[in-house]
A and B are shown apart, each in its own frame.
Chain A
């Protein structure tokens, strides 16, 4: 007997039972029948029924129906083009109409070979054309932005791209202009499509109308390989495919993980990969030669030099980690330094805490929440971009999104039983807290608040902390697992080991280097290493590594090597060096993981991490404390310096992403701007304690009174509280 909540639908004579409300395209699929579509894409919101590719005959309805706009009802009898002559004619008509003005330039089209229009024409389309008139022509290709090219002749006006822009990323920048046969996809005044998720429209396009300028004419589908891996540029860890050709990464595509990214990818994740081929990429070890700068070393010599540095430091070693190392790299480095040299002192990129594991949720739970409170004044989009899409999805579904501002203060306020918002959080079964800012104690504060609000016992309630590094948690745990011993912080520092590019570009690490006798840097780029390191060992990027990352949900995910790095990777030389200090560290991620897994992952096998990694269950963690009462503010406006999404060593090396870099501007609330007589776009002076900067003012609807925001790269020496004046 069927469960009462299911309905029975007949598709081409095959009966299938689905939940009522299931889309007809999905229902047919469940019956093993494919209904072809172009415009239909459930992730873009309600179906629009525009392309008419999915025309079907439904018994009881006189006209052909667009299957994508219908949902399954009990007793529905559907005849698709495979069994209904009428539907087949409808489908052929649609394809003919789509093709009347579509240029058949498939041989030179990037989409060729992976094009839904090609595939559906091959399977269902007419074999010839009856169109005898010249096809519609346009100037082509048009740069929609430095990363996206538009060929309007190929466009079939399915409106996927504009629907994405309007209803998913909500940037409202890519639009349809004009009407009828004159309709075109465009941006305002042909200005660049500048929005953090713009690149998704390339993947959404079912033809070759929107293509990647990076991938244009770079490869044919039969010459490429797609490697499933995980993005390593922010703590979300969006699932991606790296397309490679002849050992080089050519493009990055999304790889839908419904709990993490829903198949969306930010432009940094999509386009920043070309930093692998930056002009200053380091391929060989470099040794500082007094007065003459640097010279390249062979690997054997480099290992000797490294061994020498390590021995001479006599254990007075500090290691600065980036938070972008794989779990395995951090563990191997930890074994070498801590076990082999007793060098326990590490400078971790940020604080981490296991406290949030008790309130764990998949990111998709944000969309399903009824109430979301964002603590902190940093835009989530800058720290963990996909989180912003989940927030927008939640808002579209009617959730309340509260931006609570000052995280420390809000945390204390919400914990108060008399607080109204706090009360709503306590009463909700689907509430989510998101800490988006500094001083979160690695999630410990928001975990303490979640506990206070009773989230522990409610499966739909949880909390997130948006870290500033992609794998800070994984690195910290791996380093900790490498040894049970402890050691003092050395003074003076004999050797500072700088692991990776983020550490190498951190001003704090640079300052520490001033007090170190010797500096060893691993980095991908000369620009980050040359000038202050005594020895530079080439670093690798996340697309060149095997291993695991732990994302902000606490989910362990697998990185797969998409391309071979230009030099031996970190694990290889750590393993060799370790041998010289009597420590056995395998050079393979799988073997390192196996060893570590026994200690912290309950013996999970490397192969079981999975291509679509599961989220671990909630686990109890030590009780965290609510933050202390923050210090009183003082005069002026509180400055929030944030690291912009489109910044950092990788982005800086991708010419076509420069237009996405943050503007030299200061964001103010409308009230603060009005009180100071400042208009949007005006040049203002931002000052603090004698230092001052000229920036353009922008009035932000989201920002609260008393706070100003400046991207760190434009904030100079400013800090604390500032004043803004015209």
Chain B
């Protein structure tokens, strides 16, 4: 590795949840430095760093900040997206659990840079442990008079994947059902309470202190251009050593899974890799030499997304995997726009039938057609997240899908690692597989 960890630096050897420990490793020095700089200088450094958002979309933070409407007479808000819910992702949780002050420092520097006095951290509701840690850290920072004129509100979500979508997050933060808003207007112009708002992911904001401390140019040189820096990769699934690994962008997939992750357990074979969380499209073992950066993964036909690498061994039935993934999106669809609400449900119905071996050829084509009719037509990205990966499962593992039709049942014969997996959506009255009659 060419660079030390950034957001998790020293978290292994020290208890960084304690303010004193954090200060001992140089914590809050970047804040002191930043506060001596003019706000626009902060944004300049962010632009120079080319720090790209770590929430999934990868949009450069500095550019996002520079879009903020000025002179509106309204306050500017900073919202930290800590609603980490993408299946396979658990990096923000670890950053906040082990290095809460890094995030707080990042918030304060960013707030200074965009001349905001109001920061909201929208924290995933289920992360109760994180909430306690962050609350204590905030309290300590407040007592140490580090906040200045800035208020940081820790706002807990309540269980809705869609609230990780930035406009849904704003709706939810305003006390509404978390349904995405149409754009334009973009949050930079009209976000929280109709005011200019910058929204960034936890890891992105937690990276800001080092950008200010060492300079944007320094940061821009880490790893391959144009996506510099480190990323915390969340490694999970069928791998010997799952966990978070903060690595330079551009680290080869093989290195992560086999060198760091220890390879596939139980002597099984690698079958597939989901590189960025369940919304990204599946990769196959022949692509192990792909470098894990935004562009290389895109060139390999997938997306780096939230850098959540899910490793799948040869025991998994890909139809079951596609079904379970679709059940998640059906469960999490907010219900606002037609194609996502109806399409995710229809997908689940078709995949369930396929898995049971009752589908005919026509229905496999129909599944792909339904996906196609969702792609690019929904109000937010969730519809694409649901449909895009399924198209790839069915394309890259076409033969396996086909065998479900030809053999009139699952070729794994009950031996798949995902056999019978129960999905939360089935707990609802109108799940596709739990029809009620009038």
Binding site for B on A (CB under 8 A): 47-53, 55, 63-64, 66, 69-70, 89-90, 93-94, 96-98, 100-101, 130-134, 136-140, 156-157, 159, 176, 178-183
Among B182, B369, B378, B379, residue most surrounded by chain A Cβ atoms (within 10 Å): B182
A89 to B335, CA, bound (A): 22
- With a cutoff of 8 Å between Cβ atoms, the chain B residues found around residue A133 in the complex are 346, 349, 432
How many angstroms from the CA of A140 to the CA of B437 in the assembled complex? Answer: 11
Closest to A133 in B: B349
Q: Is the CB of B341 within 8 A of A51?
A: no
Interface positions, chain B 382-438, Cβ under 8 Å from A, are 428-430, 432, 435-438
Known: A48-B182, A49-B182, A50-B379. A181 touches B338 (CB 8 A): no
Measured CB to CB, the closest approach of chain B to A92, in angstroms, equals 8
Chain B residues within an 8 Å CB radius of A179: 160, 177, 332-335
CB-defined contacts of A132 to chain B, threshold 8 Å: 363
Question: CA A672 – CA B15 in complex, angstroms?
Answer: 57
- Verify if B345 is at the interface (C-beta below 8 Å from A): yes
Q: Of the candidates B336, B342, B374, B429, which one forms a contact with A159 in the assembled complex, judged by CB atoms under 8 Å apart?
A: B336
Choose from B183, B373, B435, B437 the contact partner of A97 (Cβ within 8 Å). B373
19 sampled A-B residue pairs with Cβ under 8 A:
A49-B182, A49-B337, A51-B338, A52-B339, A63-B376, A90-B377, A93-B374, A94-B377, A96-B373, A97-B343, A101-B342, A133-B349, A137-B436, A138-B438, A157-B335, A176-B335, A180-B333, A181-B330, A183-B341
- Could you tell me the distance in whole angstroms from the C-beta of B328 to the nearest C-beta in chain A? 11
Instruction: Say whether B341 contacts A94, CB under 8 Å.
Output: no
**Count of A-B contacts judged by CB separation below 8 Å:** 110
Known contacts being A66-B379, A97-B373, A130-B366, is A182 close to B430, with CB within 8 Å?
A: yes
Known: A94-B377, A97-B342. A52 touches B335 (CB 8 A): no
Is B331 in contact with chain A by the CB < 8 A criterion? yes
| Complex partner residue of A180 from B184, B330, B339, CB under 8 angstroms | B330
**In the bound complex, how far is the Cα of B97 from the Cα of A633, in angstroms?**
65
Residues A134 and B435 in contact, CB atoms below 8 Å apart: yes
By a CB distance below 8 angstroms, the chain A residues around B303 are none
Chain B residues with CB under 8 Å of chain A are 160, 177, 182-184, 330-339, 341-346, 349, 363, 366, 369, 373-374, 376-379, 428-430, 432, 435-438
B182 touches A69 (CB 8 A): yes
B342–A100 touching, CB < 8 Å: yes
Closest chain A residue, CB of each to CB of B436: A137
Knowing A49-B379, A55-B377, A134-B435 are in contact, say whether A93-B335 is a contact too (CB < 8 A).
Answer: no
List, in ascending order, chain B residues with CB within 8 A of A49's CB: 182, 337, 379
Query: A78 vs B379: C-alpha distance in the bound complex, in angstroms?
Result: 19
A182 proximity list for chain B (CB < 8 A): 335, 428-430
Residues of A within 8 A of B335 (CB): 157, 176, 178-183
List the A side residues contacting B177 at CB < 8 Å: 176, 179
Q: Which of A47, A178, A181 contacts B345 (CB 8 A)?
A: A181
Docked Cα-Cα span, A101 to B184, in Å, equals 30
State which of A63, A176, A181 has its C-beta within 8 Å of the C-beta of B342: A181
Instruction: Tell me the smallest distance from the CB of A152 to a CB of chain B, in Å.
Output: 10
- Chain A residue at smallest Cβ distance from B353: A133
Residues from chain A with Cβ under 8 Å of B344 in the complex:
180-181
Taken together as a complex, chains A and B put the C-alpha atoms of A137 and B378 apart, in Å, by: 24
Bound: A131/B183 CA distance, A = 31
Residues of B near A66 (CB, < 8 A) are: 182, 379
Residues of A within 8 A of B184 (CB): 69-70
The docked-state distance in angstroms from the alpha carbon of A90 to that of B336 is: 17
Across the interface, A137 reaches (CB within 8 A) one of B345, B366, B379, B438, namely B438
Question: A52 is contacted by which of B377, B432, B435 (Cβ under 8 Å)?
Answer: B377
Measured in the bound complex, the distance between the Cα atoms of B185 and A47 in whole Å is 11
- 18 extra A-B contacts, CB within 8 A, seeds A49-B182, A49-B337, A137-B437: A52-B339, A66-B182, A93-B374, A97-B338, A97-B339, A97-B373, A100-B342, A101-B342, A101-B345, A136-B430, A139-B438, A179-B177, A179-B335, A180-B330, A180-B335, A181-B333, A181-B345, A182-B428
**In the complex, chain B residues whose CB is within 8 Å of the CB of A157:** 335-336, 338, 341
Q: Which residue, A49, A93, A100, A183, has most C-beta atoms of chain B within 10 A?
A: A93
Contact status of A64 and B346, CB under 8 A, knowing A97-B339, A181-B330: no
Q: How far, in angstroms, from A251 to B184 measured CA to CA in the complex?
A: 40
Q: Which residue of B lies closest to A140 (CB)?
A: B438
User: Which residues of chain A are near B378, meaning CB under 8 Å?
Assistant: 52
Smallest Cβ-Cβ distance to A100: which chain B residue: B342
Asked if A94 and B338 make an inter-chain contact with CB atoms under 8 angstroms apart, the answer reads yes
Return chain B residues, CB-CB under 8 Å to A94: 338-339, 377
Please measure, in the bound complex, the distance between the C-alpha atom of A547 and the C-alpha atom of B388, giving whole angstroms.
64
CB distance from B436 to the nearest CB of A (A): 6
Q: Evaluate contact between B333 and A52: CB separation under 8 angstroms.
A: no
Query: Which residue of B has the minimal Cβ distance to A162?
Result: B177
Shortest Cβ distance from B380 into A: residue: A49
The 9 closest A-B pairs by CB, nearest first: A93-B373, A49-B182, A183-B335, A69-B182, A180-B333, A97-B342, A181-B345, A180-B335, A182-B430
- Shortest A23–chain B CB gap in Å is 12
B316 to chain A, nearest CB (A): 26
Contact yes or no, A156 B338, CB < 8 A: yes
A138 to B435, CA, bound (A): 10
CA distance A71 to B429 in the complex (A): 40
Q: Which residue in A55, A70, A134, A180 is a CB contact (below 8 Å) of B341?
A: A180
Q: Which residues of A contact B338 (CB under 8 A)?
A: 50-53, 94, 97-98, 156-157
Minimum CB–CB distance from A352 to chain B (whole Å) comes to 44
Q: Are A51 and B438 in contact (CB under 8 A)?
A: no
A52 touching B342, Cβ below 8 Å: no
> In the bound complex, what is the Cα–Cα distance between A55 and B379 (angstroms)?
11
CB-based nearest B residue for A183: B335
> What distance in Å separates the Cβ of B224 from its nearest Cβ neighbour in chain A?
26
A133 to B353, CA, bound (A): 10
Contact A100 B377 (CB under 8 A): no
A101 to B342, CA, bound (A): 8
Which residues of A have CB within 8 Å of B374?
93
List, in ascending order, chain A residues with CB within 8 A of B379's CB.
Answer: 49-50, 52, 66
> Are A180 and B332 within 8 A (Cβ)?
yes
Determine which of A47, A51, A96, A139 lies in contact with B337 in the assembled complex, contact meaning CB atoms within 8 Å.
A51
With both beta carbons as reference points, the residue of chain A lying nearest to B346 in the complex is identified as: A100
Nearest residue (CB) in B for A63 is: B376
Contact of B377 with A93 in the complex, beta carbons under 8 Å: yes
- Complex alpha-carbon distance, A49 and B379, angstroms: 7
Which one of B182, B338, B430 has the highest number of Cβ atoms from chain A below 10 Å of its Cβ? B338
Residue picked from B184, B332, B335, B349, most chain A C-beta under 10 Å: B335
CA distance A90 to B344 in the complex (A): 16
**Cα of A48 to Cα of B428 in the assembled complex, Å:** 26
Known A98-B338, A176-B177, A180-B344; judge A137-B435 contact (CB<8 A): yes
Q: Which of B331, B337, B374, B378 has its CB near the most chain A CB atoms (within 10 A)?
A: B337
Q: How many angstroms between the C-alpha atoms of A692 and B182 in the bound complex? A: 57
Q: How far is the CA of A100 from the CA of B184 in the complex (A)?
A: 30
Q: How far is the CB of B247 from chain A (nearest CB, A)?
A: 31
CA distance A352 to B244 in the complex (A): 79
Complex CA gap A182/B434 in Å reads 12
Asked if A93 and B339 sit within 8 Å, CB to CB, the answer is yes
Q: Which residue of B lies closest to A98 (CB)?
A: B338
Q: Which residue of A lies closest to B365 (CB)?
A: A130
Q: Could you tell me the distance in whole angstroms from the C-beta of A45 to the nearest C-beta in chain B?
A: 12
Question: CA of A97 to CA of B346 in the docked complex: distance in angstroms?
Answer: 9
Tell me which residues across on chain B come within 8 A of A47, comparing CB atoms.
182
Instruction: Decide: A181 near B373, CB < 8 A? Known: A52-B338, A52-B378.
Output: no
Q: Which of A52, A63, A131, A180 contacts B346 (CB 8 A)?
A: A131
Contacts of A64 in B (CB 8 A): 376-377
CA distance in complex: A180, B326 (Å): 13
* A212–B376 CA distance with the chains assembled, in angstroms: 38
**B160 partner residues in chain A, CB cutoff 8 A:** 179
Residues of A contacting B430 with CB < 8 Å?
136, 181-182
| Bound-state Cα–Cα, A131 to B182, Å | 29
